[in-house]
Amino acid sequence: MIIVTKPHISDAEIDHIRERIESVGMRTHLSRGEVRTIIGCIGDESLLDEVPLRSMPGVESVTPVLKPYKLASREFVADRTIVRVGGRDSEATFGGDTITVIAGPCSVENREMLFDTAHVVADSGARMLRGGAFKPRTSPYAFQGLGARALELLAEVRAETGLPIVTEVMDTRQVDLVAEHADMLQVGARNMQNFALLAELGHVRRPVLLKRGLSATIKELLMAAEYIMANGNHDVVLCERGIRTYETATRNTLDVAAIPVLKRETHLPVIVDPSHAGGDASLVAPLAFAAIAAGADGLIVEVHPDPERALSDGDQSLPPAAFTTLMEGVATFARAANRELSPLRHPARAVA
């Protein structure tokens, strides 16, 4: 149920409405937009049958939310959410008018390659660094990531470059450790429906990058976001990274339509991973451009100083020069879509 209030409702009137709703055992969520304020009701809506919401002072309209996702739905939140990652000096933002690019290696392999990649991607316009520490590999014999050592390296490279860090957390037992080092926690495609992990991330004060599951529907992706939000963390960025279809010419099939559908359904930012979608370095640019044309708020791209020698995902990783060229194209497509690449550093900082 969502309650849209009249324009000049007082705080006391809002409090009164919320108290009545909560008195029957439902939870409320307040969203103050520029134009309207929305009070969302979460729980069993039949509990409100006897509450005369429509006649309460300050209430403009009362509408049931038929979607199974509430906190993630556009009806529930007045404005689009802008997710802010990192400190004030080096903040990356997702949502709004800008396109934000995250780039870096699939896995942190060693100090040298991590620092080299970080400098290259920062110089080319990436605003965040990615790098896997704990890797979800199909084979137990494949490189599993450097684990805690990689987290330390990521924290060091952030100190040197100012780039906020995103890295994957695979298990509830890793959440505290990863949150201590990283600015944003990634839930990988294989864990999109690990509900215990999602619930745990609801209690963390770090934004979450939630990747779509290999065969997850858009609704399932939104319900996964709802898990994190229902547990208290509303800073969720969704990532379309390709889904499994009958097509074998590409690693996955980028679901371009998911981008405008998600933007219609949710106020959360949506980014695209063209690297895992195509699984091939030559497909990264066209898929990235398609994503921006379709309204994506950003990209996450794999870059490696020497893809041939990469310990994971070398086929889809861009060498530095190709990433620089990609970013020139991204800037052009962003302008065509009435957006621009996220400016360097925090805007307040640039002026100072």
* Spatial CB neighbours of 275, under 8 Å, sequence gap ≥ 6: 106, 284, 300, 301, 302, 313, 316, 317, 318
Terminal-residue alpha carbon distance, the chain: 45
Q: How far apart are CA 209 and CA 191, in angstroms?
A: 12
Neighbour count for residue 68 (Cβ, 10 Å): 11
Q: Is 251 in the site for ligand PEP (CB under 6 A)?
A: no
- Binding residue for ligand PEP, selected from 40, 86, 131, 132, defined by CB under 6 A: 132
Residue among 106 and 122 whose Cβ is closer to ligand PEP: 106
Residue among 265 and 273 whose Cβ is closer to ligand PEP: 273
Q: Is 311 in the site for ligand PEP (CB under 6 A)?
A: no
**CB 313, min distance to Mn ion, A:** 4
- Binding residue for ligand PEP, selected from 276, 304, 339, 346, defined by CB under 6 A: 276
- Binding residue for Mn ion, selected from 1, 106, 179, 230, defined by CB under 5 A: 106
Taking the mean position of all CA atoms in its chain, how far away is CA 196?
19
Q: Is 307 in the site for ligand PEP (CB under 6 A)?
A: no
Q: Is 106 in the site for ligand PEP (CB under 6 A)?
A: yes
**CB 291, min distance to ligand PEP, A:** 14
- Binding residue for Mn ion, selected from 133, 211, 313, 317, defined by CB under 5 A: 313
Q: Is 108 in the site for ligand PEP (CB under 6 A)?
A: no
Q: How far apart are CA 121 and CA 139, in angstroms?
A: 29
Where is 128: in which H helix or E strand? strand 128-130
Mutual angle of helices 111-123 and 148-161, in 10-degree steps: 40
> Is-contact 305 278, C-beta < 8 A?
no
- Listed ranges 8-16, 100-108, 207-215, 232-240: which one lies at the site for Mn ion (CB under 5 A): 100-108
Strand order of the β-sheet with 59-63 is 27-32, 37-42, 2-5, 59-63
Q: Is 188 in the site for ligand PEP (CB under 6 A)?
A: yes
- Listed ranges 51-59, 60-68, 99-107, 278-286: which one lies at the site for Mn ion (CB under 5 A): 99-107
Q: Is 77 in the site for Mn ion (CB under 5 A)?
A: no
SS3 per-residue string spanning 97-118: CEEEEEEECCECCCHHHHHHHH
- Binding residue for ligand PEP, selected from 96, 136, 147, 295, defined by CB under 6 A: 136
Taking CB atoms, the residue at the shortest distance from Mn ion is: 106
**Number of amino acids touching ligand PEP (CB under 6 A):** 10
Report what 181 binds from ligand PEP, Mn ion, none; CB cut-off 5-8 Å by kind. Answer: none
**Strand partners for 73:** 266
Q: Is 255 in the site for Mn ion (CB under 5 A)?
A: no
Q: Is 213 in the site for ligand PEP (CB under 6 A)?
A: no
DSSP 44-67: -GGGGTTS-GGGSTTEEEEE---S
Residue among 106 and 166 whose Cβ is closer to Mn ion: 106
Distances (CA, A) of 305 to 49, 188, 198, 320: 62, 23, 33, 6
Residue among 77 and 284 whose Cβ is closer to ligand PEP: 284
Residue for token pair 């879509």: 337
Residue among 77 and 258 whose Cβ is closer to ligand PEP: 258
Residue ranges that bind ligand PEP, judged by CB under 6 A: 106, 132, 136, 188-190, 211, 241, 273, 276
Residue ranges that bind Mn ion, judged by CB under 5 A: 106, 313
